[in-house]
Amino acid sequence: MRLVLALLIIQLLTGCASLGLQGDVSTMSYDEYKASTSPGSIKDFNATGKFIFFIENKGFSGKLTWKSNNNKDTIFLLNPFNTVVAKIKLDALQKKFSIFVKDNDKNLENLNAFLRRNDNIFLMREFSLKRPLSENKDIAIINNEWKITYHDSLPNNRTKKIIFKKGNIRLELLFISWVN
């Protein structure tokens, strides 16, 4: 009986430990964010990861690869079957971008419209490349109507997971690797 009780307690404790409960999220304003980032930006890199895009409760997900050279970025969005569904080209210096969509997909049309609105894509680029220097793993930044939340970080203070939320729209990026 003691053995059964001990095994039950161990299973309960390890089950609770694996829930991945979030710690406290520290919140900062955009001005505090700017003051807590390093002046330079990540340049000439390759990043891979996953994305999830939601409008209300409808959305889609997939893989992303991001290549940057001389502030010119190319981002490939792939579906779960590893087929390219969109290609995004950014020129950060001239604040220009284009998106090429493979099929007429309603989700991709929504993403395209979302990225084009008010330079959203450049805001996302800035926040993805400049994670605040903080001892906290979980940081939320309030910028106008946006709530940008960082969860954890990779080596060299690189962004691991970032969530952009504005009204009923949410974009989550989970980076697996950053290579210079």
* pLDDT higher than threshold 70 for residue 180: yes
pLDDT surpassing 60 at residue 115? yes
The confidence band for 176, taking pLDDT boundaries of 50, 70 and 90, is very high
Distances (CA, A) of 168 to 59, 106, 147, 150: 11, 17, 12, 19
* 13 belongs to a structural domain: no
pLDDT grade for 1, boundaries at 50, 70 and 90: low
> In the chain, count of helices (H) and strands (E)?
4, 10
Do the domain assignments include residue 172?
A: yes
CATH number, domain at 112? 2.50.20.10
Structure tokens at 176: 């697996």
Provide the domain count of the chain. Answer: 1
Domain containing residue 77: 24-179
d(CA 147, CA 89): 25
Helix 106-116 and helix 120-129: axis angle, to 10°? 80
**What percentage of residues in the chain have a pLDDT greater than 70?**
83
Q: What is the pLDDT of residues 99-110, one digit of tens each?
A: 887 766 677 777
Q: What is the mean pLDDT of residues 72-89?
A: 90
In a domain, 167, yes or no: yes
Residue 11 lies in a domain: no
Assess if residue 14 is contained within a domain: no
Q: Of 114, 126, 116, 88, which Cα lies nearest the Cα of 167?
A: 114
Q: The whole model's pTM is what? A: 0.80
Per the domain annotation, does 140 fall within a domain? yes
Q: Is residue 109 one of the residues assigned to a domain?
A: yes
pLDDT at res. 6: 45
Predicted pLDDT at 23: 58
